[in-house]
Structures are given as structure tokens and as C-alpha cells.
């Protein structure tokens, strides 16, 4: 899944291994059944779904897509490793939202996200190991 963050291409994995489970990232899921969702983690099908258009049909910004991606990732981690302890708590959704917003900022502003040409280098390294 590629997104534009501050004018740079950010390549996010299309699948994630969390615990022993492989989650598929479904890019641009339409969410026909619920127009208020920007993302969703389905633990039954092991899918993380991301929507690129908001409920009004407007394009979602790259930074918002990144925050949504991390938000759903944190739900998956919480379910797999914590049996949903954070999510199911009184302020669980708020906690996940705070962590995803903060994580996105810290990862970007401290050079911990692989962007653009760096991704190509990582891909070459990974191919060399395969
Ligand atoms: Zn959530």
C-alpha cells in the first residue's frame, strides 16, 4: 500500500505477521455496510481494511491513511497479544487513537519510516536474502 506523506511516497506492507497470524491489508476497502468507518481490523478473516475516501467521498490525506493503518495495526496487536484488553477498556478506542496518532508522528519525524528511495534499498536487500 503506497501513500503520499509530505510529498514523499511511503510504502506500507500489504500483509503483516502479528503473533503467528498473517493479516492481509485491504487497500481502499469501500465499507458499503458502514459509511462512518475509515478503517477496520477483522480478526475473523485476519484483514486490516483501509478506506481512501471519507464518508463524503473526499480523498483521505496520506497522514490520515498512515494513522488509520497504525490504528488498525494496534487493534490487531491488542487482540493477538492482549486478548483485546486495551480496545475493550472504558477508554480503549481513545487509547488506540492516541497511540496511533503519536506513533505516526514519532516514526515520521525521527526518520523511522522508510520513505521513497529508502524503500527501494530495503527491497533490494530483502530480495538478496531470498
Ligand atoms: Zn479503533
Cα-to-centroid distance, 74 and ligand 1 (Å): 9
**2-39 as b/e, with b when 16 or more CB fall inside 10 Å?**
ebebeeeebbbeeebebeeeebebbbebebeeeeeebb
pTM assigned to the model? 0.87
Q: 59, exposed or middle or buried, with CB in 10 Å at 0-12, 13-18, 19+?
A: exposed
Domains within the chain, CATH numbers bracketed: 2-116 (1.10.10)
Distance 72 CA to ligand 1 centre (A): 6
Confidence of residue 114 (pLDDT cuts 50, 70, 90): low
- Highest mean pLDDT among 6-10, 62-66, 124-128 belongs to 62-66
Per-residue pLDDT reduced to its tens digit, 19-44: 999 999 999 998 888 888 999 999 99
Ligand 1 mean position, distance from CA 96 (Å): 6
Number of DSSP helices (H) and strands (E) in the chain, helices first: 3, 6
Beta-bridge partners for 15: 24
Which residues are near ligand 1, the ion (C-beta closer than 5 Å)? 96
Amino acid at each position: 500500500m503506497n501513500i503520499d506523506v509530505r510529498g514523499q511516497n511511503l510504502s506500507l506492507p500489504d500483509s503483516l505477521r502479528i503473533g503467528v497470524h498473517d493479516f492481509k491489508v485491504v487497500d481502499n476497502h469501500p465499507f458499503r455496510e458502514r459509511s462512518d468507518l475509515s478503517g477496520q481490523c477483522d480478526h475473523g478473516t485476519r484483514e486490516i481494511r483501509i478506506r481512501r475516501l471519507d464518508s463524503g467521498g473526499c480523498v483521505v490525506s496520506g497522514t490520515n491513511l498512515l494513522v488509520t493503518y497504525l490504528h488498525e495495526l494496534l487493534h490487531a496487536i491488542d487482540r493477538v497479544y492482549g486478548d483485546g484488553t486495551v480496545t475493550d477498556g472504558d477508554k480503549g478506542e481513545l487509547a488506540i487513537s492516541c497511540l496511533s496518532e503519536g506513533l505516526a508522528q514519532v516514526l515520521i519525524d525521527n526518520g523511522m519510516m522508510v520513505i521513497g528511495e529508502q524503500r527501494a534499498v530495503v527491497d533490494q536487500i530483502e530480495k538478496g536474502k531470498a
